[in-house]
Structure 1
Amino acid sequence: MLKKSLLVLAISSTLLMGCNDDDTIEVIKEVEVVKEVEVAPAPITQVKNVILMIGDGMGAQQVGLLEEYARRAPNSIYNEMNNQTALTKLGHAGQLGLSLNAPFGANGSLVVDSACSASQLATGVAAGSEMVGLDEQGNIVETILEKAKRAGKATGLVSDTRITHATPAAFASHQPHRSLEPAIAEELISTGMVDVMLSGGARVFLPSDIKTNNESRQLMADLGAPTSVYKKSKRSDDRNLIVEAKEVHGYNLVFDGTQLDNVTGEKILGLFANSGMEDGIAYTACKADNSCSQPSLRDMTLKALDVLSQDEDGFFLMIEGGQIDWAGHVNDAGWMLHELLKFDEAVDAVYEWVKDRNDTLVVVTADHETGSFGFSYTRKDLPAGKVLEGNGMQGLEYKPNFNFGSLHNLDRLYAQTGTFYDMMNQVNGDWDFTNTLGSEWADAVNAHSDFKISDEQGTAITEREANEYHVDGHKYLSATEFPKINDFKEFFVYGDELHANLIGRALSADQNVVWGTGTHTAAPVPVYVYGPQGLTQQFSTMQHHVDIANKMMSALLPE
């Protein structure tokens, strides 16, 4: 928009008149002319704050599920909000682009994992698969969060998974593999790089004997932690990093939503679950009856904004909706919809905070797409013919050749009351599925899904076979037996979790849903950007995640 300014043109206009015989010249009048013109202001290319939001696993297909539900589900929860998601509002007000995300370097590959993708978003250089905060040669690279901290800005990480999980870890730690979560926890605490950390994952902060050491358990209780937070440890030593965070590094500790509401101070460590936080379906249920004990992703986002924005030098904040990816891995469309809704709530919080500011850049994207998800038409349940009143029908019935999917399927997906993991737990809480019955699987699925399956379909979920890709010592492939996947089996890698993928197969025809993999795809992912136009326009293109990182760093940090 052009800004009006005054350009003053001083013009001396001298009127000459011959007054007497000596031709004396008299200055009659001097006139100053003032003209108002339009002058364009210099574009804003630097901001105080950058907020990066990552919908883990949220490709264009997942965004399509969210938007179809919001805009066209007969009973959409967005009906009272003009059927408009926060992502749509952000896109309308800002810019949209796409981003490639595969490992970018000369030794790169076609498909990315979250650690590599987040490392590329954090550092702006190529990374290798499953590395955290390293370049493709294994060198430590300073991240945007660390650069912001060195520049005097406040910093924060928020996730609904674990604070040591691949995505948040990549912004503030440097490890050769994402699985080294105990070491990542030590790094997050000891470096002091992150002022606000809010997530799950207490298990890698707790001493190895937390289940049996009454003194350690009492200490956690005295700190205000519920037993669900300290129920077990994934450490191999006796360090209690939660205590160290408080007593050595000055963090204020919180373990539930009420404590988060009331905490003050510039440094906060919030660990709200032993591993991952509550899933989106559980959150929908507890929100409905006001019984949530954990804070939502929106709650954590608002608290982080409140604390970090007190720093007059500005801040960097990364917010992850991480369980979109988890739902995609097990091909659970109902769960995935609820995770998208939970993430969109957080996007809405950010949009409301930033919409009247010009000092903040917001980038919303994904690390990758998960599951190769999509709606598709089928040869099952063909539609009946019906009469239409249009003058072009020529007396014929309207009768498509295939089932293109009912909009009511969107409401039925939302009606799911438990994740596929909940269904698996109902079949066998110890996850021993070697001698399960089809009827047990059908009962579990039908208890939680509005789409029903038969005992015969349940029997297909029970089937197992020898793992022909057995690898001794491998985290997943060391299993000698896998659930039986009949096609593309090489792309379903997570051992007994694949019974969940088989639930997805059993439900898929009635849902009009297809899945191509149990892992990730190389699809470009959406990029939503809001902020000063001088910054946002450069994101409205096809780019790579290393480009996004460098654009964010240029905007936040002076050269």
Structure 2
Amino acid sequence: MRRLFVLFFVILAIALSFSQVKNVIYFIGDGMGLAHAYLTSMIEGRPLSFMKTPYVGLVKTHSANSWVTDSAAAGTALASGFKTNNGMINILPDGTIVPTIFEVAKAYGVKTGIIVTCRVTHATPAAFYAHVKSRGEENEIAKQLIESETIDVVMGGGWANFLPKSLGGKRNDELDLIEIAREKGYAYVTTKSDLMQLPADAEKVLALFAPSHLAPASERSGDQPMLYEMVEKALEILSKDNEPFFLMVEGSQIDWEAHGNDVYGVWKEVLEFDKAVQVALDFALRRGDTLVVVTADHETGGLGLSAGDYMVDVEKIRGFTKTADWIMANYSTADKESFKEAIKEYFGLTLSDEDLERISASKKPSAELGKILSEKVNVGWTTTSHSGVPVPVYAFGPGAENFTGFLDNTEIPRIIMRLTGYTLQYPLVKEPTIK
């Protein structure tokens, strides 16, 4: 594999003139299209926090080999400014390894952090520090995270990828990456209570709250923190000495709920994401030197705010209290009456025998239930996968006016770099030929 690490000449490049952008808080709503945000706004009866930012644009999301991207290729574009094939992380189709914006920032002494509600080795967070041909190499990604020391503050799930099987993890190489992280100076915590007790003067933090992903926002409780709580703590740690920092925050599970065509799940995940954005906006408003950028890696579900009728039944949606996944995990369609009663109790809706037959016959019963429930409140979906439609970008703070118009996703990290002065502008990237 050719290792033409562009980082070498990036570090040697002369920085641009002084910029007002000292800190960056970069939000990525995984799978969050405009309709996901607007539907949540409709249900809440108010604009979401990021909707009130003064500058808004649209972003193309295609990868190098497909009009419909996955999170690995989209994450690479958002973190490095280069297009690659689906499934690849910071390695181009020809094998060239490209640096991430965090690696460049680190070369300038900037503190960095990632906060997610999925495994920290999942595609989007990995795009900010790892270089692999396949996003499935999560054990290798975990190893790169600890060995590179690119990230100062890490919060999310996935401790199983950091531990050998002999210690309850997933690794075959007997490497205890958590112990190695401790030796490198990371404070390691696994509970919300321990996180909140961390002193503000902690320099490096590895916080892994689950062996895999965190619980969904609608079900998370106890010692797994909410996204906004992690953001509050990370900002306390990263900003304590008034040095520059760069924080990436992902609303990871918006995507999964949209894969399941789950209106309630999307609502609760977008709402959790928005609460975290509000924490960042409050911080930026107090400071005046912090840029907040909110976007998505792609749209999921092909969400339409209609299913053939002109009226989305917002009032009925407000009465939903569970996700379709939760129903399928706790009830069986084989017990028809019990299943129907559960739908009545948690959604206020009535299922027909035909509805039950659709769910039972489906290869994705949870998604089929989600689609049926959506239909009953006049919300439509076109797919249980990703779509190729552009996604919004919202910006607040110094330099926010640059995030308007019709952008490519590769432009977002390039604009951030120009505004922070981490590096000179990247060469232009030609549009790929997509079959």
The TM-score normalised by the length of structure 2 is: 0.88
Measure the CA separation in 2 of the matches of 1:549 and 1:250.
29
8 Å CA contact 1:441, 1:459 repeated in 2: no
Which letter does structure 1 place at the counterpart of 2:280?
Answer: V
- Structure 2 counterpart SS, 1:281: coil
Which letter does structure 2 place at the counterpart of 1:424?
Answer: M
2:51 paired residue number? 88
Measure how far apart 1:262 and its partner are: 1.0
1:145 is aligned, of 102, 108, 128, to 102
Q: Higher RCO, 1 or 2 (CA under 8 Å, sep at least 6)?
A: 2
1:166 is aligned, of 104, 123, 129, to 123
- Structure 2 counterpart SS, 1:373: coil
Larger radius of gyration: 1
Measure how far apart 1:376 and its partner are: 1.1
Measure how far apart 1:294 and its partner are: 1.2
Question: In the alignment, is residue 296 of structure 1 matched against residue 226 of structure 2?
Answer: yes
Measure the CA separation in 2 of the matches of 1:191 and 1:184.
10
Residues 554 and 541 from structure 1, CA distance in 2 versus in 1: closer, same or farther, beyond 3 angstroms? same
1:239 paired residue number? 175
Measure how far apart 1:440 and its partner are: 6.1
2:408 paired residue number? 544
1:48 is aligned, of 1, 19, 22, to 22
Measure the CA separation in 2 of the matches of 1:112 and 1:440.
40
1:102 paired residue number? 62
Measure how far apart 1:448 and its partner are: 3.4
Alignment of 1:392-541 (within 5 A): 404-412=311-319, 415-417=320-322, 419-427=323-331, 436=334, 438-439=336-337, 441-442=339-340, 445-463=343-361, 483=363, 498-532=364-398, 535-541=399-405
The TM-score normalised by the length of structure 1 is: 0.69
Structure 1 portions without partners, runs of 5+: 1-42, 72-82, 212-232, 287-291, 379-401, 465-482, 484-497
- Structure 2 counterpart SS, 1:122: helix
Q: Structure 1 stretch 541-550 or stretch 353-362: which is displaced more?
A: 353-362
Measure the CA separation in 2 of the matches of 1:407 and 1:426.
26
Measure how far apart 1:113 and its partner are: 0.6
8 Å CA contact 1:54, 1:319 repeated in 2: yes
Measure the CA separation in 1 of the matches of 2:126 and 2:66.
22
Measure the CA separation in 2 of the matches of 1:352 and 1:451.
39
Measure how far apart 1:235 and its partner are: 2.3
Alignment of 1:245-260 (within 5 A): 245-246=181-182, 248-260=183-195
Which letter does structure 2 place at the counterpart of 1:244?
Answer: I
Instruction: Tell me how many residue pairs correspond in the alignment.
Output: 405
Report % sequence identity.
Answer: 36
2:133 paired residue number? 176
Measure the CA separation in 2 of the matches of 1:518 and 1:122.
26
2:205 paired residue number? 268
8 Å CA contact 2:25, 2:292 repeated in 1: yes
Measure the CA separation in 2 of the matches of 1:530 and 1:500.
38
Residues 44 and 153 from structure 1, CA distance in 2 versus in 1: closer, same or farther, beyond 3 angstroms? closer
Measure how far apart 1:158 and its partner are: 0.4
Residues 410 and 45 from structure 1, CA distance in 2 versus in 1: closer, same or farther, beyond 3 angstroms? farther
8 Å CA contact 2:121, 2:158 repeated in 1: yes
RMSD: 2.0
Measure the CA separation in 1 of the matches of 2:134 and 2:346.
36
Measure the CA separation in 2 of the matches of 1:547 and 1:350.
22
Structure 2 portions without partners, runs of 5+: 1-16, 425-435
Which letter does structure 2 place at the counterpart of 1:95?
Answer: Y
1:278 is aligned, of 190, 201, 215, to 215
8 Å CA contact 2:28, 2:249 repeated in 1: yes
The superposition leaves residues 96-154 of structure 1 with CA deviations (integer Å, 9 ceiling, x where unpaired) of 11110111x4xx32110111101101111111111112223232111111111111010
8 Å CA contact 2:316, 2:348 repeated in 1: no
Measure how far apart 1:445 and its partner are: 4.0
1:372 is aligned, of 302, 325, 329, to 302
- Structure 1 counterpart SS, 2:410: helix
Which letter does structure 1 place at the counterpart of 2:21?
Answer: V
Measure how far apart 1:439 and its partner are: 4.9
